[in-house]
Amino acid sequence: MENKELLNQVQASARQWLNSNIDDVTKASIREMIENNEKELIESFYKMLEFGTGGLRGIMGAGTNRMNKYTVGMATQGLSNYLLKEFDHLDQISVVIAHDCRNNSPEFARTTADVFSANGIKAWLFDGLRPTPELSFAIRELNCQSGVVITASHNPKEYNGYKAYWEDGGQVINPHDINIVAEVKMIGSINDVKFDGDESLIEIIGEEMDEKFLKASIATSLNRDLIEKHSDLAMVYTPIHGTGVYLVPAALKKLGFRNIYNVPEQDVVSGDFPTVVSPNPEESAALNLAMKKAEAVGADLVMATDPDADRVGIAVRDMNGELVLLNGNQTNVLLTYYLLTQWSAKGLLKGNEFMAKTIVTTELVADIYRFYDVEYYDVLTGFKFIADKIRQNEGKRTFIGGGEESYGFMIGDFVRDKDAITACSMIAEVAVWAKEQGKSLFELLLDIYQEYAFYNESLLSVYRHGKEGAEEISGMMETFRSSPPANIDNSEVVEIRDYLEQKITDLGSGDTKPTDLPRSNVLQFLTKNGTKVSVRPSGTEPKIKFYFSVKSGLEKREDYERVHKKLTNRIESIKKELRLI
């Protein structure tokens, strides 16, 4: 009965679309599903593609549960309605629109511009693909009230997405995110959307904004003289078919680097991502071609950005001269250490600076913040929360930089989201700074471990599918919350941070204090020996994530392999201890 009711619901929804103002190609696709593919029909129409607090993301195709110009139009109509209410005091509301390399991204961007302009909102539309950080930059540069980038970040090629930004250049947060979601839900049908754009309100932007963005990006450099001295540093860069293809090499060249190798196969802009299974720099396979090129040309540094160029993955040469991948935490450590050592050495630290990290990012960067007596914020996962701290401190304090474990970093406040363009430039600069001292980036990292502590982090994602899977994930969180472990890693749990209940409990004294962060279903367990375990269900996928962090001393570089193996074994033991493997 349930299946029959679902099918009836799906068919009714499909018929409603057929009777709406949609194009013939979409109608033909829907009729094909009705007649020949019941399974695909159900997947495409069993629900509305949810406009969440981060926007839209889904598989492309016809239907209410798919990314297409109609679901994009409905989302934009809802956002338009909210902007018209929120900024009714302005004579002209304006937005910026960008898109990445994915299939249909240009069409979705144009649809977005048409709907905004049809609602009387001026739309600045980039003339071609652009990185997400440039979209963030352009919002403030053009004094816009909002912005949209069409991207699905590092998701597989079948996906596309729609991310909404606010006037500060950061992704929308509370209360605007919740209010926009409500407005989008009120769009009951395709016929409620104003698709007929007003050309007089659409203005194309291009190279002039690129130049302004690049000027701001390279202005973050702290040692141009060292770049000039070591301008022959050999590096390989790949955009993995995405938006970094123009601006990353341009930024590096403007800084003075002249030995930049590309990967021709991956410079091809393509939403099919033909050379990789997944365009995700977190996955080692995505860097295979770049690492082969680095071996062929003798490069010491490999950098790869994701399709919308907001995240970067790197490979460096280890003590044996072999190329090894660094994780997001390690890249964050190198950038943080460099920024603070240089700001300190140049007398730039005046006492009103601040930095930021997410709660699941390595505590090593917090150790570095504290060493330089720089205040920092621990925020929930997502750069929109770092952007919010910048907004709160606007005009009063100086933001140096900040990042997260998932390969994102932001330097300065000219962009209000993670920025792989500037991060690539700064990583190359750190490499020449290390070279000036006779070190590789890897040796610099080991020296940081010796100076502070050797932190080793790992992420485990546990997938559970369907309704039962969602219930199991919920049950796992409830078990950890109601029956927390007393010991982890052979050490007593001394503190529990519950971000859903917004409290931090000191298990020794029993005292509690507020987290001072928005509610989020995250638990963290901290032990006496410095181990930290974080548990967080994914907000976009049917999985629960476990973040592990253990640490030890490192007396000398030569001990790295032995200590790394020991720390890795400790993490594996924790997984068994918590019955995760």
Cα separation of 108 and 137, whole Å? 21
Cα separation of 158 and 162, whole Å? 14
Q: Which amino acid is at 324?
A: V
Q: In what order do the strands lie in the sheet with 375-379?
A: 375-379, 353-358, 398-403, 409-411
Name the CATH superfamily for 220-451.
Alpha-D-Glucose-1,6-Bisphosphate, subunit A, domain 3 (3.40.120.10)
Q: Which of 443, 424, 440, 420 is nearest to 432 (CA)?
A: 440
Residue 543 is predicted with a pLDDT of 87
Query: What are residue 410's phi and psi, to 5 degrees?
Result: -135, 130
Using DSSP, state whether 297 is helix, strand or coil.
helix
Residue 538 is predicted with a pLDDT of 79
Cα separation of 428 and 414, whole Å? 20
Per residue of the chain (581 residues), give pLDDT as tens: 367 888 888 999 999 999 998 999 999 999 999 999 999 999 999 888 888 777 899 999 999 999 999 999 999 999 999 999 999 999 999 999 999 999 999 999 999 999 999 999 999 999 999 999 999 999 999 999 999 999 999 889 999 999 999 999 999 998 999 999 999 999 988 999 999 999 999 999 999 999 999 999 999 999 999 999 999 999 999 999 999 999 999 999 999 999 999 999 999 999 999 999 999 999 999 999 999 999 999 999 999 999 999 999 999 999 999 999 999 999 999 999 999 999 999 999 999 999 999 999 999 999 999 999 999 999 999 999 999 999 999 999 999 999 999 999 999 999 999 999 999 999 999 999 999 999 999 999 999 999 999 999 999 999 887 767 888 899 999 999 999 999 999 999 999 999 999 999 999 999 999 999 999 999 999 999 999 999 999 766 678 999 999 999 999 999 999 999 999 999 999 999 999 98
Using DSSP, state whether 60 is helix, strand or coil.
strand
Cα–Cα distances in Å, from 119 out to 19, 95, 165, 446? 24, 12, 18, 56
CA dihedral 205, 210, 212, 213 (to 10 degrees): 120
Decide: 38 and 8 in contact? Cβ < 8 Å.
Answer: no
Q: Which amino acid is at 524?
A: Q
Supply the pTM of this predicted model: 0.95
Using DSSP, state whether 164 is helix, strand or coil.
strand
Helix boundaries (H) for 203-279:
207-218, 224-229, 244-255, 264-267
Helix boundaries (H) for 534-577:
560-577
Residue 1 is predicted with a pLDDT of 36
Using DSSP, state whether 238 is helix, strand or coil.
strand
For the domain bounded by 47-205, which CATH number is listed? 3.40.120.10
Same CATH topology for 47-205 and 220-451: the answer is: yes
DSSP H or E segment with residue 532? strand 532-537
Residues taking part in catalysis: 153
List the chain domain ranges: 47-205, 220-451, 454-577
Residue owning tokens 């090129």: 293
Cα separation of 537 and 539, whole Å? 6
Contacts of 117 (CB under 8 A, 6+ apart): 123, 197, 198, 199, 200, 201, 202
Give the pair of three-digit tokens for residue 395.
């005009």
CATH number for domain 454-577, candidates 1.10.10, 3.10.20, 3.30.460, 3.30.310: 3.30.310
